[in-house]
Amino acid sequence: MRYWEKMFPVLSPQKTRGGQREYSEEDLNFLGKIVGLLKVEGRSLKGAQSFLDGSLPIEASHLAGELLVEVRKALQIMEKTDAEIGA
C-alpha cells in the first residue's frame, strides 16, 4: 500500500493514534480504479497515472479500452481456430 501512496500522492490515509494507516472509502475506491486500469485495461503504471491525472482524454482512453477488448477477442478466436486445426 505504501508503494501505491508513493506512485499516486492522492492516496493519503489518515493515521491512527497508534501510527497505523487508516484508508477512507474514497482511498479504497481510488485504489480500485488503479487496479482496474492496470489489470483489467492492461495499462502501464505511467498510463494509469496519466489517465488519473487527467492528462489522457477520456474519449481516447475509452476508445483504446474498446480496441483492446476487440483485439483480445480476435486473439481468442485465432487461438481456438489454431487448436481446432491442430496448429
DSSP 33-44: HHHIIIIIS---
Which among 69, 34, 32 is positioned nearest to 48, based on CA atoms?
34
Q: Say which residues have a Cβ less than 8 Å from residue 35's Cβ, sequence separation at least 6.
A: none
Q: Are residues 52 and 67 in the same domain?
A: no
Answer yes or no: do 27 and 65 share one domain.
Answer: no
- Residues of the domain holding 46: 1-56
Whether residues 24 and 42 share a domain: the answer is: yes
pLDDT, tens only, 3-15:
888 888 888 889 9
- pLDDT tens digits, 15-70: 999 999 998 888 888 888 888 888 888 888 888 888 888 765 555 556 667 777 78
Distances (CA, A) of 11 to 8, 21, 27, 51, 69: 6, 11, 6, 15, 29
